[in-house]
Amino acid sequence: MEIAPAPAPETVSLEAKSPFEMRVHLGEGVPETDVRTALKTGDLGFLHSFTTGSAVDGPGLRLVAWTTACMFRCQYCHNPDTWTLKNGIPVPLNRAIEEVQKYANGLISMRGGFTLSGGEPLMQDRFAARLFAAVKKMGVHTAIETNGWYGERLTDDEIRNIDLVILDMKAFTRAQHELVTGVAKAFANGVGVDWKEFFAGLDVRRVDLPTYAFQRQRYWSDLQAGTRTVKAFGNTDHPLINAVVELPDTGGVVLTGRLAVDTRVLSELPFHTPTASA
């Protein structure tokens, strides 16, 4: 099978078509020396994509930038295509700042903000620190999603530019981390683990993780293409009421009708003479 070459990074949209769009090899043309300089200065970042309108990556509606590179390989990772630095589009810092600036007013007015996620954003700590500083100056709420491993790479001043740290911490110590993730890996590969026994004596409890918004179910009406009338919301036999919509919270209903000059019922009303201005 022939594998198509990756498109040139400058032709790839910063925004992914969907959260499941696989993006790989997009930064492979960047020479190693430039990669090293980028990591040292933060002039260039490697980003999988931007997502607009996220409701699960911090308070309010978020603009999310997904960095590439992560030192972990969690079995439950949603974004394994962000594990490798060079899967990301090389994005100059200024371009990333401009991208956030485009949405700044909307994010502020909707009490949302900007989230840097990944991958592990602190694998590109200079880019992350400089981007947060610029976004903070815009007055936009800032958040980072991190596994915390490289927390010490940021200075206290740099951390002050981050309003919210969403920490996905695996364990308090390296040894504990290796034990927990190692056993979890064995479990994910089919080895039976007595979790009660494993956590005996520790102050831990099971928590339900948040699911996808609406669990991929649709909860709105199916509008057919080309539909122009309220009849799409449910026909009735009543001559004036075209649609009935049930209210899920109260059990009541909203009745909707459309009166216009060309409405047959209107023209048949004995007391009403329709005109063009009716």
Which chain residues interact with ligand SF4 by CB under 6 A?
70, 72-74, 77, 79, 118-120, 147, 168
- Angle 172-177-179 from CA coordinates, rounded to 5°: 130
Q: Which is nearer to ligand SF4, 81 or 243 (CB)?
A: 81
Within 10 A of 67 (CB to CB), how many other CB atoms are there?
27
Instruction: Supply the minimum distance, in Å, between the C-beta of residue 182 and ligand SF4.
Output: 14
Q: Which is nearer to ligand SF4, 56 or 261 (CB)?
A: 56
Instruction: Supply the minimum distance, in Å, between the C-beta of residue 119 and ligand SF4.
Output: 5
Q: Which is nearer to ligand SF4, 8 or 77 (CB)?
A: 77
Instruction: Supply the minimum distance, in Å, between the C-beta of residue 70 and ligand SF4.
Output: 3
Cβ density class 212-243: b for 16+ within 10 Å, e for less = eeeeeeeeeeeeeeeeeebeebeeeeeeeebb
What is the DSSP secondary-structure string of 113-177? EEEEESS-GGGGHHHHHHHHHHHHHTT-EEEEEE-STTGGGS-HHHHTT-SEEEE----SSHHHH
Q: Which is nearer to ligand SF4, 90 or 119 (CB)?
A: 119
Q: Which is nearer to ligand SF4, 69 or 89 (CB)?
A: 69
**Diameter of the chain by CA atoms?**
87
Instruction: Supply the minimum distance, in Å, between the C-beta of residue 148 and ligand SF4.
Output: 9
Q: Which is nearer to ligand SF4, 76 or 219 (CB)?
A: 76
141 torsion bin: left (phi>0), alpha (psi -120 to 50), beta (else):
beta
41 membership: H or E segment, kind and range: helix 32-41
Instruction: Supply the minimum distance, in Å, between the C-beta of residue 196 and ligand SF4.
Output: 25
Instruction: Supply the minimum distance, in Å, between the C-beta of residue 1 and ligand SF4.
Output: 28
